[in-house]
Amino acid sequence: MARRLRILALLCLFAISGLGTIRARQGEGIRGFFPSSAGRQAELEKAFQQVPTPERARLDLWALTAEPRVAGTPEDYRTARFVLAQFRAAGLEAQIVEYDVLLPMPREVRVDLVEPIKRQGPTPEGGWNAAQGAHDRKVIAGYNAYSPSGNVTAEVVYANYGLPEDYDYLRQAGIDVAGKIVLVRYGKCFRGVKPYVAERRGAAGVLIYSDPAEDGYRQGDPFPKGPWRPPTGVQRGSILYLTEYAGDPLTPGVGATPKAKRLAINDVTTLPRIPTTPISYEDATPILENLGGPVAPPAWQGALPFTYHVGPGSAKVHLKLDMEFRTRPIWNVIARLPGTVHPDEWVVLGNHRDAWTYGAVDAASGTAPLLGVARGLGELLRQGWKPSRTVILASWDAEEFGLIGSTEWAEENAEALARHAVAYLNMDSGVAGSHFAASAVPSLSRLIREVAQEVKDPASGRSVYAVWSEEDGKVRREGGIPCAVLKSSRGTEEAGARVGDLGSGSDYTPFLQHLGVPALDLGFGGPYGVYHSIYDNFEWMQKFGDPHFRYSVAAAQIFGTLALRLAEADLLPFDFEDYGNAVRGYLDDLEQDVKKEGGPLQFDGVKSSLTGFAQAAKELGEAVTATSANGGRMPSQVRAANQALMEVERAFLLEGGLPRRSWFRHAFYAPGVYTGYCAVIFPGVREAASRKDWSAAAQQLDQIRQALDRGTGTLARAVAALGGAGARIGP
């Protein structure tokens, strides 16, 4: 076996070496690096990219998915110890950081159809364990975390996706959901939005099912024949109201340490108040089949083989949930490579380790590349390299419950991150296929494209960028980057290589939207229908997601190369001209939408501020070009410029946060209240406009103007530090 592993590793090195030679020839053109250091950087990246191997990725994924690893359980702790051991074996300083957070677990879940027929539920998910051929008793029941306990018997009403417009339709049809159990299907929004809306419409309970139109047999063959959800597949997941704040519900805004002051559960505003649970489409079928009432409209019809009605009658369900709410420990694993030139500038990489069951895609397929990055950086250390900036690798826990591990660490270290963080790089579900997708703040979009040009697509042998450009980001992903492929109004988008906007739903949220740290999120997607089910396991990955584990290698190469660019750059490779162009597109969209609504907002002031920002960004680009051309001497000037560049994103934070949800502080980006995953651009303005509160909308538009002015001033500091456009730097 050892000989075979060595042969596989050598083959991988030979496959990558040709690309490394190209990089060395192009070294003089690496943006952010002076000519004197570009060649060295090219060789560094070449050496790093030779370390990750498919066989090592396969072994990592096999180990990570050996048993379910729900946050706060002994199995979760064992995987934390596994990751810690891998970090340390790579030569990195690492430790486990523990927090105590509210994690509810199910004691009993019952969904019984009691009229017009009797049928007990839920149906056991079935399980898939190739070695044992049996259901793993450690797998947690299908449930929605943070649902309250409840015991309700009521008629059922079908409400499509459970969005406000769906309830408006029912009301117009004379159907009242008050006191009813609402059956809704997954899709269109974060699952927590569904009970949030239902609760406000008076429903007594919520059932969320996976319709085969979304991720089942209408898409293709179900597992194990194909990659899509089988009839008994259940999508577990948190229904915490994350659009108000992320993290531990009991400690908003502060790390959940022993000294933290905790809210009483009755005072927590992010907890749903009506019992909610997920069910499979096998269990949803007899409920839908027995619904009376009007025929559901065409857009509400799913893929089950009968006509959907909205009810109520004749279907009646007994829903009983018994949930144990308790504070439990979680375990982040943090590795740190101290910087030697700029130790007070931090580049942070993260991926969450926990899962609802085996979690091969979500998110072991991101943990395996993170371990590949750790080994690659460790090999560079053994060769004598030391990072210029401090690099932090983080294995987050309890992401599935509400981005908890990352949020608690970010909140505990908020002051340090505000001073030191260069960027946060996120990989959630790293590999579910071969289609690359990314989301980022606009200043990092160009960097992602540049790095994607330097890594081979395993299937074609061309660059990831070339394949990505051709595919035009058309593949839908569940989980990590769910909104990366939506329409973007960015003025700088390259045809086909579209970088999406960051909404929420993964661990970049506290860094960008609470602390103003530039962030990105990336991974390879594909046909993936077993999200949050027992079928998201090693067998699924080996058959459908990444059979040869070559895309795990590509993911590690991109992830690590991005980190190396940011850790070693002479001048941080942010592109604020791209940022200005993106904001211009955002403003154009906002102005058009406001005009359609007849809003009285005036955009002249914010447009003037944007012009100033764009001019400062242009001058910065000229100053960077001149500095590089003149050899980039005078380290104190470069250091001052980099410090200013790190602070531009922080300039976009609102002092008091967004109205009604102050934890979210970014003026440009926040998750939508009724989407949860996808970004709402200029959320303060848009949310006020949706209420026709034009006075509040005008105030929020002025907040955007002020944020742009702060950003302009910060860019001007960077330009001044470099001596201005065209100035000679150094003797």
Per-residue pLDDT reduced to its tens digit, 588-614 = 999 999 999 999 999 999 999 999 999
Alpha helices, DSSP H, located in 453-549? 464-471, 509, 538-540
Question: What is the token pair recorded at 267?
Answer: 């005072």
Q: Which residue has the higher pLDDT, 346 or 6?
A: 346
Distance CA 723, CA 730 (A): 10
In this prediction, residue 676 has a pLDDT band, given cuts at 50, 70 and 90, of confident
Q: Which of 430, 426, 394, 331 is nearest to 87 (CA)?
A: 394
CB 670 within 8 A of CB 508: no
Q: Which of 93-97, 370-374, 496-500 has the lowest mean pLDDT?
A: 496-500
Q: Which of 112, 111, 113 is nearest to 315 (CA)?
A: 113
Active site residue 577: no
> What is the location of CATH 3.50.30.30 in the chain?
105-325
- Quick one: 379 exposed, middle or buried, by C-beta within 10 A (0-12, 13-18, 19+)? middle
Q: Which of 231, 223, 216, 238 is nearest to 283 (CA)?
A: 231
- Sign of the torsion formed by the C-alpha atoms of 525, 526, 527 and 533: negative
Per-residue pLDDT reduced to its tens digit, 699-727 = 999 999 999 999 999 999 999 999 874 33
Side-chain-side CA neighbours of residue 152 (13 Å):
23
Residue 94: how many other CB atoms lie within 10 Å: 20
Question: What is the token pair recorded at 592?
Answer: 């058009």
- Quick one: 699 exposed, middle or buried, by C-beta within 10 A (0-12, 13-18, 19+)? middle
Mean pLDDT of 149-157: 98
Instruction: Domain 2-102+328-465+499-568: give its CATH architecture.
Output: 3-Layer(aba) Sandwich (3.40)
Mean pLDDT of 644-651: 98
Side-chain-side CA neighbours of residue 689 (13 Å):
22
Backbone φ and ψ of 358, nearest 5°: -80, -30
Side-chain-side CA neighbours of residue 304 (13 Å):
22
pTM for the model stands at 0.93
Residue with tokens 């063959």, as numbered in its chain: 221
Say if residue 134's pLDDT is above 90. no
In this prediction, residue 528 has a pLDDT band, given cuts at 50, 70 and 90, of very high
Distance CA 132, CA 139 (A): 14
In this prediction, residue 494 has a pLDDT band, given cuts at 50, 70 and 90, of low
Measured between alpha carbons, how far is residue 302 from residues 184, 204, 380, 483, 622 in Å? 11, 24, 53, 22, 55
For 159, the 3-state DSSP assignment is coil
CB 494 within 8 A of CB 449: yes
Residues paired with 322 in a beta bridge: 108
Q: For all residues of the chain together, what is the average pLDDT?
A: 91
- Quick one: 354 exposed, middle or buried, by C-beta within 10 A (0-12, 13-18, 19+)? buried
Which secondary-structure segment (H or E) carries 238? Answer: strand 237-238
Per-residue pLDDT reduced to its tens digit, 73-110 = 999 999 999 999 999 999 999 999 999 999 999 999 99
> What is the location of CATH 1.20.930.40 in the chain?
576-721
Residues paired with 331 in a beta bridge: 98
Q: What angle do CA 71, 74, 77 make, to 5 degrees?
A: 65
What pLDDT does 422 receive?
Answer: 98
Residues paired with 157 in a beta bridge: 182
In this prediction, residue 495 has a pLDDT band, given cuts at 50, 70 and 90, of low
Which CATH code fits 576-721? 1.20.930.40
Q: Which of 541, 370, 520, 396 is nearest to 452 (CA)?
A: 520
CATH 3.40.50.2300 fits 105-325, yes or no: no
Catalytic residue among 282, 399, 454, 649: 399
Q: Which residue has the higher pLDDT, 406 or 626?
A: 406
Mean pLDDT of 551-567: 98
SS3 labels along 201-215: CCCCEEEEECCHHHH
Distance CA 650, CA 510 (A): 13
Say if residue 131's pLDDT is above 80. no
Distance CA 303, CA 305 (A): 6
Kindly state the percentage of the chain with pLDDT values over 90: 86
> What is the location of CATH 3.40.630.10 in the chain?
2-102+328-465+499-568
Q: Which of 164-178, 247-261, 361-375, 471-485 has the lowest mean pLDDT?
A: 471-485
Distance CA 358, CA 56 (A): 19
Q: Which of 28-32, 173-177, 542-546, 617-621 has the lowest mean pLDDT?
A: 28-32
What pLDDT does 29 receive?
Answer: 81
- Work out the end-to-end distance of the chain between its first and last CA atoms, rounded to an integer number of angstroms: 59
Chain mean position to CA 466:
24
What pLDDT does 475 receive?
Answer: 46
Measured between alpha carbons, how far is residue 325 from residues 101, 148, 345, 349 in Å? 10, 9, 39, 31
